Amino acid sequence: MNIVNSKLSILVRVDLDHAKAQVLAKGHVTVHSIQALYVVVKRANALKHNLDLELDMRNARVDPEALRQLETCSETHHLPARIDPQQIPCTLSILPPRHAAHTPGNTAPHHAPSPLAA
């Protein structure tokens, strides 16, 4: 029996010296739970100007619509206006889930990962 954890777990790693942060998500990301992810990304983005954020979704199960929303944020360099009314630039790259269930025709590019300095 395979039991899938639907609880969303988020871990943030920050390297301010190199202006990088990694947000790791595990569990199930839906169009509802993505709101919590946005808030964490917004808070990480506020730590330092021009911070490069990497969203690691490789160990998460992500609904297609939630992944599309994240890809839009990555492409536009902004979080949704309801989350960030000031629309502060957000450089977000996404490591997609290993078993992404993309919707047909969704071929948005993903950015290559950049390792954080130890």
Q: Which CATH number do you get for residue 61?
A: 3.30.750.24
Overall domain count for the chain:
1
Within-domain flag for 104: no
Structural domain boundaries enclosing 87: 9-95
Query: For residue 44, which amino acid is it?
Result: A
Within-domain flag for 88: yes
Within-domain flag for 34: yes
pTM of the model: 0.77
Within-domain flag for 39: yes
Render each residue's pLDDT in the chain as its tens digit; 118 residues. 444 557 899 999 999 999 999 999 999 999 999 999 999 999 999 999 999 999 999 999 999 999 999 999 999 999 999 999 999 999 999 999 986 554 444 444 444 444 444 4
